[in-house]
A and B are shown apart, each in its own frame.
Chain A
Amino acid sequence: MYETSYHRASSVDDAQSKMKAAEDGKFLGGGMTLIPTMKQRLAAPTDIIDLAHVGDMKGIKADGSGITIGGGVTHSEVADSADVKAAIPALSYLAGLIGDPHVRNRGTIGGSVANNDPAADYPSACLGLGATIITNQRQIAADDFFVGLFETALNEDEIITAIHFPKPAKAGYAKFPNPASRYAMAGVFVAETGGDVRVAVTGAGNDGVYRESALEAALGGSLSVGAIDGISLDASNMMADMHGSSEYRANLVKVMAKRAIEAA
């Protein structure tokens, strides 16, 4: 790790002003990606602004329209939340699949979504459920938020304070983990919300999380396994690496989509 300065933010405003004062600052959520990256000397921010103690970013709120989860809420809090289990059980299930217990106890939903790792789980839930990303500056629809690999619509000093997930009629998630990293090689989040079906895929696309239009078109307005049985997905837009070819990932997306539908 290179030398860096650590700052603990007391509020969202405090975090933002600390970021403005920093030469090359980075917000720190749970640190589950940033700290290992810094330890490998692949990132060298001059300043770290720790959001873990910002009270405004805590808590999970349920209302008739859905669930709002604070940006500083950990994966294990989402996995264990009775409100999330009642409203969107697929989201609770997804959170319980992230990393291992250590990661889930430290990592936060805001940190994960802001990082937009192309194989992270949460981006598929945001896109699949049509979530709204709430920042200290504005509200961004998930459709507009995820720009590319590790790229989002966030500005440098913008902080995800909360994410609102509308309550779906049905939703399901299925993940095939990379055997080594246990990130998704194909994670598929399916949701039916108000007659609208979304199929969001993480881990497999070569440009990060995306909606699989071939599957959405086949499904039409409702979730049924039979509707996608005959579909064969185009491998040309899939990621390929030593763990899986694009053809293999195309197969996994379809298989995981079926399993997500069965789980919904």
Chain B
Amino acid sequence: MSEGIGARVLRKEDKRFISGKGKYTDDVIEINQAYAAFVRSPHAHAKINGINKQAALDAGAVAVLDGKELTGDGIGNIICGWMIHSKDGSPMNMGAWSALATEYVRYVGDAVAIVIADSQAAARDAAEMVEVDYNVLPAVIKADKALEDGSPQLHPEAKNNLIFDWEIGDAAATDAAFADAAHIVEMDITNNRLSPNPMEPRSAVATYDASEEHYTLYTTSQNPHVARLVLSAFYQVAPEHKLRVIAPDVGGGFGSKIYIYPEEIACLWASMKTNRSVKWTSDRTEAFLTDAHGRDHITNAKMAFDANHKLVGVKVDTIANLGAYMSLFSSATPTYLYATLLSGQYNVPNIHGNVRAVYTNTVPVDAYRGAGRPEATYLLERMMETSARELGVDPIELRRKNFVQEFPHQTPVIMCYDAGNFEAHLDGALEAIDYKGFEARRAESASRGKLRGIGTSCYIEACGIAPSAAVGSLGAGVGLWESGEIRVNPVGTVEILTGSHSHGQGHETTFAQLVSERFGLPTDNVQVIHGDTDKVQFGMGTYGSRSGAVGMSALVKALDKVEDKAKKIAAHLLEASDSDIVIEGGEVKVAGTDKKLGWHEVCLAAYTGHNLPEGMSPGLKEDAFYDPTNFTFPSGTYICEVEVDPETGKTDVLAFVAADDFGTIINPMIVEGQVHGGLAQGIGQALLEEVVYDDDGQLLTASYMDYCMPRADDVPNYQVSHYKTECPGNPLGMKGCGEAGAIGSPPAVINAITNAIGNNNLSMPASPQKVWAAIQASGSKQAAE
């Protein structure tokens, strides 16, 4: 059976995962290992007057180290890696972020000191004994409040807490289009703040070898090379050749493990200070308090149509909450990953987006599965559905009328869509949900006293990030290419070294399928090596649905070189021309003859070097860097059908159809799994999940007792299907599938509920209480009318 492209190969990595043999950072045990616990601020905003460590040291702590000692040792501040300029041309106003606070704490959970002890329990006990004298200051939690005059100020660099005031598109042209429009819909829309909640909490094990002046860091990272680069170049922990970063098995990231957090920096530094290995593993409440959150936008959005219901303009004004400090990608998420998608699947001649990014006394906010694109999709698809209702037309037909039909399509907001067929997945989704049969189903629900609704979302997103020169011109501090290496062993087995990082995506299987496709080898003969800066030369890591479109493209380039050399060797041995050699089914053949060699024989010949073509070096190992030429543009249609209990406001998701165009798919089973997971997170955002701080900045949702994660019975059996148009921008025609489910699904759910209850005024998460209140409000509205 083929294990190449398109085969449903079972995941090679699952044997160790489902048998409990995965090796995660917390499983690492070093000789002479000590444990770290962090002294964290209980206040959302305070000045540190002093720290008394004596009781902790008396109780046996190995060390208690604070921010002044850290900065005194030359450890640099944490940076945001993407420069955004405000519309007046000024650079963003970035405040200082020290891994351990020096003068001020700015959110509940902000790290003040690291305590090292001989056991985890002893470290925690000692951390509680550290007395920090705080002068508590007023705090501000909501982004719109933070901008007001007189609000508490977080950083001297950012007056009124404004980090930047950025715009995209043509404001004057858009205003003119709105002035002439026949119909305008305007909505105030909040995108709820979320906690990423990977199954494995963050963890770090840092070891300093004094004799070599060398550091090793095991860490829960989606991009260990970027971590090493930043730790070296910006935080001055150690030069790159003296720092090895290993991200072993990592149990989910969803974006939250892209960033380099204070804890990793502090553990590395503390290892040097104490001459001990230092391990820290977050507990779940610590994760809620300190993992970067996602979303948290407040937006006024408008959409304008002409008399023929053709879109003439989109205008949005967004306030993005970035929390207390600027995390690594935090400036890019609400700008270039967000407002560049405001055209959706539609021909929109005029778009203007304005984004103000704001500091608040909350944990930093950064990219979380979808990162900006869910926020854009939510605005457009809520407004599209609401517009159709106000215009009295079918929301499907309103979308169809405005679809982009020709490619490439240049939008007014940077992106140039390269390929797609939006009607194909729309029609597929309509058929799968039995759209025509909906009214009969609604009547059946009504006969049981229930409210049934249907809602649609047509999303497009930009992933496969990203062309390095393009993102460089937009402010990115790094290139977003990927590298890969193919090492063929003398016996013909293959090792893939990749700069991509698998933390649930199944790369050990899908990347092996590429080799299987190319040489006809079983995937069992292929090993994928990743996540270790000593093994893989460099890599930009995994996020932004980039490992297929970018990471695999690098491997394709390397495979091209390996294939070319193997053919030359075979041609030499078989006395044939290179161009007549074909490699298939594990054999190297001369086309049209019975002359052939086993793949392993060619590989062995490469390594013995006994009989190679004139001038050829021995070995069979090639590497390649691949820089994409464009973003890729997955798109799809999601339709959700819900039933609402009007007495309690409880929503049941009865059906969910996902019809996606991901371009070429390597392993449909793994892609379906990605979609299922993304949909669960999107339905979670729509119905269940929200981070809540009280007005003083205390986190109310600090455990699963209050933060509502979706469970199996909250989601339906999904119907997933694929409608492929190949991406012309990369050799395999891949678009990426990792984030689509989370990007496309929230508006479909909310549109279905608002359809059911007859009230468009509903915010996420649509908890039973909120839906009940909306039903009450529309009931009293109807009564008043």
Set B125, B688, B704, B707: member contacting A2, Cβ < 8 A: B125
Q: Identify which of residues 671-717 in chain B touch chain A, using a CB-to-CB cut-off of 8 Å.
A: 687-688, 692, 700-701, 703-709
Q: How far is the CB of A172 from chain B (nearest CB, A)?
A: 16
Binds B, one of A50-58, A120-128, A198-206, A242-250: A242-250
Interface residue? A252 (CB, 8 A): yes
A245 CA to B768 CA, complexed, in Å: 11
Assess the B704–A40 pair: CB atoms within 8 A.
no
**Which residue of A has the minimal Cβ distance to B647?**
A255
Chain B contacts for A180, CB-based, 8 A = 688, 704-709
Set B648, B650, B706: member contacting A181, Cβ < 8 A: B706
Interface residue? A3 (CB, 8 A): yes
A244 CA to B650 CA, complexed, in Å: 12
Assess the B647–A242 pair: CB atoms within 8 A.
no
Chain B contacts for A226, CB-based, 8 A = none
Q: How far is the CB of B288 from chain A (nearest CB, A)?
A: 12
A11 CA to B708 CA, complexed, in Å: 40
Interface residue? A193 (CB, 8 A): no
Overall SS of chain B's interface:
loop
Set B704, B706, B707, B769: member contacting A244, Cβ < 8 A: B769
Assess the A179–B692 pair: CB atoms within 8 A.
no
Interface residue? A1 (CB, 8 A): yes
Residue of A41, A242, A245 ringed by the most chain B CB atoms within 10 A: A242
Q: How many residues on B have C-beta within 8 angstroms of the other chain's C-beta atoms? A: 25
Chain A contacts for B612, CB-based, 8 A = none
Set A40, A176, A242, A251: member contacting B692, Cβ < 8 A: A242
A65 CA to B772 CA, complexed, in Å: 42
Set B705, B708, B769: member contacting A248, Cβ < 8 A: B769
Residue of A41, A179, A181, A242 ringed by the most chain B CB atoms within 10 A: A179
* A179-B768, A242-B700, A243-B767 given; A252·B648 CB < 8 A: yes
Interface residue? B773 (CB, 8 A): yes
Q: How far is the CB of A201 from chain B (nearest CB, A)?
A: 15
**Which residue of A has the minimal Cβ distance to B688?**
A179
Interface 0/1 of A145-159, CB less than 8 Å to B: 000000000000000
A41 CA to B120 CA, complexed, in Å: 14
Set A1, A181, A242, A251: member contacting B772, Cβ < 8 A: A251
Assess the A248–B773 pair: CB atoms within 8 A.
yes
Chain A contacts for B445, CB-based, 8 A = none
Residue of B700, B705, B769 ringed by the most chain A CB atoms within 10 A: B769
Chain A contacts for B649, CB-based, 8 A = 248
Assess the B125–A176 pair: CB atoms within 8 A.
no
Chain A contacts for B769, CB-based, 8 A = 243-245, 248
A179 CA to B649 CA, complexed, in Å: 12
Q: Identify which of residues 238-264 in chain A touch chain B, using a CB-to-CB cut-off of 8 Å.
A: 242-245, 248, 251-252, 255
Interface residue? B285 (CB, 8 A): yes
Assess the A248–B772 pair: CB atoms within 8 A.
yes
Interface 0/1 of B9-36, CB less than 8 Å to A: 0000000000000000000000000000
Assess the A179–B704 pair: CB atoms within 8 A.
no
Assess the B648–A179 pair: CB atoms within 8 A.
no
Interface residue? B121 (CB, 8 A): yes
Interface size class of A (residues with CB under 8 A): 10 to 19
Overall SS of chain A's interface:
loop
Set A1, A181, A251, A255: member contacting B705, Cβ < 8 A: A181
Q: How far is the CB of A258 from chain B (nearest CB, A)?
A: 8
Set B121, B124, B767: member contacting A179, Cβ < 8 A: B767
Interface 0/1 of B458-483, CB less than 8 Å to A: 00000000000000000000000000
Assess the A3–B773 pair: CB atoms within 8 A.
no
Interface 0/1 of A83-116, CB less than 8 Å to B: 0000000000000000000000000000000000
Assess the B704–A181 pair: CB atoms within 8 A.
yes
**Which residue of A has the minimal Cβ distance to B694?**
A242
Assess the A255–B648 pair: CB atoms within 8 A.
yes
Q: How far is the CB of A119 from chain B (nearest CB, A)?
A: 10
Chain A contacts for B125, CB-based, 8 A = 2
Assess the B706–A176 pair: CB atoms within 8 A.
no
Interface 0/1 of B125-155, CB less than 8 Å to A: 1000000000000000000000000000000
Chain A contacts for B650, CB-based, 8 A = 176
Assess the A3–B121 pair: CB atoms within 8 A.
yes
Q: How far is the CB of A98 from chain B (nearest CB, A)?
A: 15
A180 CA to B692 CA, complexed, in Å: 13
Chain A contacts for B708, CB-based, 8 A = 179-180
* A3-B121, A179-B688 given; A242·B706 CB < 8 A: yes
**Which residue of B has the minimal Cβ distance to A100?**
B711
A2 CA to B704 CA, complexed, in Å: 22
Chain B contacts for A2, CB-based, 8 A = 121, 125
A244 CA to B649 CA, complexed, in Å: 11
A37 CA to B415 CA, complexed, in Å: 51
Chain B contacts for A242, CB-based, 8 A = 692, 700-701, 706
Assess the B688–A40 pair: CB atoms within 8 A.
no
Q: How far is the CB of A260 from chain B (nearest CB, A)?
A: 13
Chain B contacts for A248, CB-based, 8 A = 649, 768-769, 772-773
Chain B contacts for A252, CB-based, 8 A = 648
A181 CA to B124 CA, complexed, in Å: 27
Q: Identify which of residues 155-214 in chain A touch chain B, using a CB-to-CB cut-off of 8 Å.
A: 176, 179-181
Chain B contacts for A181, CB-based, 8 A = 704-706
Q: How far is the CB of B117 from chain A (nearest CB, A)?
A: 14
A180 CA to B767 CA, complexed, in Å: 10
Q: How far is the CB of A174 from chain B (nearest CB, A)?
A: 10
Q: How far is the CB of A122 from chain B (nearest CB, A)?
A: 18
**Which residue of A has the minimal Cβ distance to B773?**
A248
* A243-B767, A245-B769 given; A176·B704 CB < 8 A: no
**Which residue of B has the minimal Cβ distance to A2?**
B125
Chain B contacts for A255, CB-based, 8 A = 647-648
A243 CA to B650 CA, complexed, in Å: 12
Interface 0/1 of A1-44, CB less than 8 Å to B: 11100000000000000000000000000000000000011000
A176 CA to B125 CA, complexed, in Å: 39
**Which residue of B has the minimal Cβ distance to A255?**
B647
Q: Identify which of residues 38-57 in chain B touch chain A, using a CB-to-CB cut-off of 8 Å.
A: none
Instruction: Kindly list 6 other residue pairs between chains A and B, CB separation below 8 angstroms, not including A1-B121, A3-B121, A180-B708.
Output: A2-B125, A180-B688, A180-B704, A244-B769, A251-B772, A252-B648
B interface residues with partner A (beta carbon < 8 Å): 121, 124-125, 285, 647-650, 687-688, 692, 700-701, 703-709, 767-769, 772-773
Please list 27 pairs of residues, one from A and one from B, whose beta carbons are closer than 8 Å in the complex, sorted by A's number.
A2-B125, A40-B703, A176-B648, A176-B768, A179-B687, A179-B688, A179-B708, A179-B767, A180-B688, A180-B704, A180-B705, A180-B707, A180-B708, A180-B709, A181-B705, A242-B692, A242-B700, A242-B701, A243-B769, A244-B768, A244-B769, A248-B649, A248-B768, A248-B773, A252-B648, A255-B647, A255-B648
- The 3 A-B pairs at the shortest CB distance, nearest first, are namely A180-B708, A181-B705, A255-B647
A interface residues with partner B (beta carbon < 8 Å): 1-3, 40-41, 176, 179-181, 242-245, 248, 251-252, 255
